[in-house]
A and B are shown apart, each in its own frame.
Chain A
Amino acid sequence: MRIYNKYVVSLAVVTCLITTILAFLGEQDITVYFTVSVIAYLVITLLYVYFNPRARRTLNTVGVVFFAGFLVVVAMKVVEILSG
């Protein structure tokens, strides 16, 4: 299970790094943290191309769920900008 361990550890490390960096930059919008974390998740999952087909399928499903959340955030921002 070493490849799965590496994947989980890299996900945890990257999300922690993102949170730390954004906190140091003084970011106070929770949607920014969420959006950057979702993008990191999608990129890391894409980099692990050697997962078995079953794992790839399930992780793609999770990716779709996170991406839907990302779209909701984008839509909310668009509505916010349009409504002034």
Chain B
Amino acid sequence: MSNPYRMLGLVLCLAGGTFAPISYFAIGSVPFTALGLSAIMVGFTCIVLAGARSPVSPEACELMLKTGMQNTAALLEELELRGKAVYLPSTITGGSPRALIPLADNQDILHIRGKIPARLIVRYGSDPGDMAISVTTVGSMNIDLLETRPGPTSGEIEAAAAYILTGVLDIATSVAVRLTDSTVDVEVKGSRLHYEDVWYYRCLGSPIASIVAAISSEALGRPVRIKDEDYSKGKSRIALEVLSS
């Protein structure tokens, strides 16, 4: 009974179920009977909606997200990795999408050569110094939630991002995407997970930026890097750089 939707649904069904027959048979008012029927309809919908909620509590989900992020943050800090992560599509990794963080200081990943194996330390280019660590991010995990892979247009990327952020995860109210040749500008309104100036976010971006980057990378079939991210007046602005594969 802790689910508020189930509670609301039961109250509405009970109230409507009592009110409708009284209105119809005792009072003889059709509009009041219709009001009772409407209450039953909305109540029934609420009861059904209560079953669609995840059985895992939001607190448990937050705990698991923080644990994963802190483990990755500890790895990044221990290895002193400061480079910006590059989000790879599943066509390059050969499995689920992942993010690469260059091991060398002040080195940006500009080209990815060949398939990247699903290991922690990987080689991404022909040069001996082209080494990086490959990690699974929040964004990588969300690709599995999409029913179909989005196409390489701003409309399809926007629809996929809105589906994940507003529908499935419910951590934003709207998403707008603007796509040019080498950049993807994303504006997320009403986001509930903001950017913080911490090591993990500087490398891999905030969870929202990570999700948008993974979706964009998967849609375009090319590696993507989070170039810039800021939050002001209830809006998150994320600038993604599309790299050549």
Please report A residues at the B interface, Cβ cutoff 8 Å. Answer: 1-4, 7-8, 11-12, 15-16, 18-20, 22-23, 27-30, 33-34, 37-38, 41, 49-55, 57-59, 61-62, 66
Contacts and interface: CB of A to CB of B under 8 A. Distances in A.
B163 interface: yes
Given A33-B30, A41-B41, A58-B48, 5 more contacts: A1-B53, A3-B167, A34-B37, A49-B163, A62-B48
A11 to B, nearest CB: 5
Given A30-B24, A52-B168, A58-B48, A37 B37 contact: yes
Grouping DSSP codes into helix (H, G, I), strand (E, B) and loop, the B interface class, with mixed when no group exceeds half, is helix
Contact of B34 (A22, A51, A61): A22
Interface in B1-55: 5, 8, 24, 30-31, 33-35, 37-38, 41-42, 44-46, 48-49, 51-53
Decide if the interface of chain A is mainly helix, strand, loop or mixed: helix
| Interface residue range, chain B | 20 to 34
Given A51-B167, A55-B52, A37 B34 contact: yes
Interface in B149-174: 162-163, 166-168, 170, 173
Contacts of B5: 4, 8
Contacts of A51: 52, 167
B45 A50 contact: no
B147 interface: yes
B62 to A, nearest CB: 15
